[in-house]
Structures are given as C-alpha cells and as structure tokens.
Chains A and B, each alone.
Chain A
Amino acid sequence: MIDFGYTLTKDRQFDYDHGDFRFLRLVRSIEPSLDVCIGCGSCTATCSASQFTNFNIRKLHTVIRRGDPESIKAELKKCMFCGKCQLVCPRGVNLRNLILAMNRAIEQLG
C-alpha cells in the first residue's frame, strides 16, 4: 500500500440496502409507537440535553429507522431521562420507553 498523503473518504450516504436493522426491530418490538412519529422535532426542541450539546433525540430515533444505528451508542448517554420529550410529542410517541428500548438494544446488540 502506498501513502499518497490522502485517503479514501467514507461514504456518508445511507446505504439502505445494506443497513443494520437489528436495532430497529428490537426497539419497535418494545415500543411500536415509534412508527407514528412525524419528525416534527417537538421532542428535540424541549429536550433538556439538547440545549447545551448537539444531542438530538429526533435524529437518534430517525437514524435507527434508516439502518444506521452506530451514532446512537455514544449519544444516547446524554439523555437525562426527564421525560419532557414525551410530554410534548403530538403523536403520542412513548419516548421514555423508546429511550429505554434503545438502551436495551445497545446493551444486547453492542
């Protein structure tokens, strides 16, 4: 291998056909209300953790639906489980349970 002083860049496109949907399957089996999310962002707007970090709960439960759960592993720790997100969700997504389910998925699937 030659060092050219530059390297191949990782493709940041979601490659849905080769996505990892094990997280999504597990999370949905625990908390199916995720299905009715409309991506409105109310959860992120009110989130205690979002105000001072780039934590974004809406993005986290969206990326697992796109088959790219890698980024949630480190991020989800920032949630302080206050439940404000659930309070505002217009679709009645059970976000606290969803967060528990996501943590469970991280534990079980690594």
Chain B
Amino acid sequence: MKQEGKRLIWDEYQKEIADDNYFYVRSCVRQNFFPGAEKTFLRYMKEMGRNVFENPSHTTCSGIGYHSDIVPFETAMTMVARQFALMTEAGYENFVTSCITSFGLYSEVLETWLHFPEVEEKTRVHLRNATGREFVKPKNLAHASDVTYKLRTEISDAGKYRLINQTTGAPIRVVEHIGCHYSRMFPSKGIGGAEYPYVLVGMIEEWGGEVIDYPERRHCCGFGFRQYLVKANRGYSVSASKKKFDSMRPYKPELILTNCPGCPMFLDRWQYTISEMDGTTYGENGQGIPVMTYEELAGLILGYDPWDLGLQVHQVPVESLLDKMGIPYDPEKKFLDKDGNFIGKPKSPSFLKFY
C-alpha cells in the first residue's frame, strides 16, 4: 500500500476548524453508552486552554428520530434552529457537536438552507412561533473529533503514554471506524473525505499507533438505526458488525477507534453477542478487540485514570490494551464509583474472555 496516494487525497479534503471558543452540544445517547467520553473531552479542552461553553437547556438535535423515520425533516430543522439560537444568545459562533449523526444533520440542514433559502425562512418562522427565539448560523461547524484532531499534537506533547507496546516497542495496531454521517453525505465536510477519512488516522499516527486498512473498512458498524431499533431487524445489525470483524481479524487489530455514538456501542457490545450466538471471539486468546472513542483514547494518552474515563462499562475489557501501553490501573477499583461504592459487576460471558 502506498501511503503517498492517500496523502494526496487527504490534502484535498482539509477543512477549517475553529481554534477556540466553542459552543458544545452533547449527544443524546453517548452518556449512557460511554459515560466518560464527553466529560473527558471537556477536561482536556480545558487543560489545553480552550474555552468550551455548554448551555444546559440544549436538547437532542432529533437526528436519531430523523434517521429512524419518526421525526420529519421540518421538525428536525426547527430543533436545529433552536440549538443555533442558544449558541447565538450565548455569544458564540463556533458550533461543536459530540455526535456524528448530529454533525451530519447540522451539515444537511445548513446545506439545505444554502440551496433553499425559503426553507430557512420558514424554519425561522417556525422557531419564532414556537419559542420566540432568533438565530445566526454558526460561522464554523465541527465535530468534536475534528477539534481533537486539530489538537492531536498538543495532546501528544502533553501526553504520558503512547500507542506503543511497551514490551515489544511495536506500534499498537488500530482499526479506525468513522460514523457514516461524518462524511458520506458531504465528503468535503470531513477531514480526509469519505473514502479514506483522516480524522482518526491523524490521531492514531500522531499518538504512535499503526492504522490498519482492511477490506470492510467502509462497511456500516451495524447500528443502521432501524436495523437495531426494531428488534425484528436486529439480526442484520449483528451480521453487519460480524462482517467487519471477520474482515479485520486477519490483520490482528489490538484496538478499534471510533468517532460516533453508535459505532463503539455496536462494535463493542456485539462482540459479546456474537460470541454468545456462535462462539466466535475476535481478539487474542479468546478475548475481544477493545473498542474506544477518541475522547477515551485521548484521555489514556494524557494519563487520566482508566476508571475515570468510564472504561469499566465497556463490554470488551480494555485491560489488554492498558497493559500493552504500560498504563497502570487498579483492578480492585474497577467496579467502584467515585465514592468507593460497588456499582455491580457483569456476569462472566460463556466464551468471550473477561480479563
């Protein structure tokens, strides 16, 4: 494989990312799936001297309902307009989203308004009638992974650990998986475009790891919204993830890195489900392949305590990675909350080795 070829493509898809003063909107599901991820983002942004503002009255963008065919586009646009109004009221113009589907929806809405100004006008009327609010469109729209990408060198410089196996000195082999709504709809809005997205690759390279390019890299994580959300379809969801695992297995990945709410959820949880369905496991020695969000990984690089990052709620234990990277952790504290209370412990799976 010739990396120069990819670099030529990456050069063509660069985008402007604001350097400071971000208005941050959360994902409606990530705090349940990966409870430490967003908090970690806010923590390192602060440590890197960046100002991130959150308004507690912001809501879901409604993208999850829109992509599940239950929220009409007009409603979604009005919800988005309200988020913009909160940003405007707070005096910000750089909008940063935690969720990839939100990012996709915001991009789609802005693009729609660009081509159909009358739709924007109508949305303004809807928002005014419903809430009395007005908004200015953001000057800069970015996903939190874009911002983290922009800060990747600063994170690396301030970091304590690297994506390097401390015993062998070899780079950790990482599979990156980009959420569909990051750049498939608008390749120019994603760093590196849609075919060879660079946003996570840039972090992995900068932090010392080796990126694996495997045949089903472009395949959906399996969420597929209605595929997962409707139980009758759920077999498709697991099968889609399985297709990816089967394809990446020969490359012996040691970590899967993601930037979407759904992807880490399904790539993590379905490894357990598949193991219970047909006994297959995909990591070394009957273990799974650890799955992480970029915030969690950035947190590890920066030396944050793994249990503060919420890594204990992952389905696939992450200890194999921590050991390789030489990151210390206290197994006794894995299932204790911040006050030292026991939070419960999952049952041991039948096939997937629990660390």
Contacts and interface: CB of A to CB of B under 8 A. Distances in A.
Interface of A: 1-2, 4-9, 11
Contacts of A9: 235-236, 239
A6 B232 contact: yes
Contact of A8 (B232, B233, B277, B350): B277
- Ordered nearest first, which 7 A-B pairs have the shortest CB separation? A6-B234, A6-B235, A9-B239, A2-B276, A9-B235, A8-B239, A7-B235
A8 B276 contact: no
B273 to A, nearest CB: 6
Interface residues on B, range: 10 to 19
B238 A6 contact: yes
A96 B172 CA distance: 59
B243 interface: yes
A30 B236 CA distance: 41
A8 B278 contact: yes
Nearest to B272: A2
B236 A7 contact: no
23 contacts: A1-B276, A1-B277, A1-B278, A2-B276, A4-B234, A4-B273, A4-B276, A4-B277, A5-B231, A5-B234, A6-B231, A6-B233, A6-B234, A7-B235, A7-B277, A8-B235, A8-B239, A8-B242, A8-B274, A8-B278, A9-B235, A9-B239, A11-B239
Interface of B: 231-236, 238-239, 242-243, 273-274, 276-279, 350
A1 B273 CA distance: 10
Contacts of B350: 1-2
Q: Which of B236, B239, B274, B350 has the most chain A CB atoms closer than 10 A to its own CB?
A: B239
A8 B350 CA distance: 18
Nearest to A2: B276
A5 B276 CA distance: 12
A6 to B, nearest CB: 4
A9 B222 CA distance: 12
A71 B327 CA distance: 54
B239 A2 contact: no
A86 to B, nearest CB: 41
Residue picked from A2, A4, A9, most chain B C-beta under 10 Å? A9
B180 to A, nearest CB: 19
Contacts of A11: 239, 243
A6 B273 CA distance: 10
A9 B277 CA distance: 12
Given A2-B277, A6-B234, 7 more contacts: A1-B350, A2-B276, A4-B277, A6-B235, A8-B239, A9-B239, A11-B243
Contacts of B239: 8-9, 11
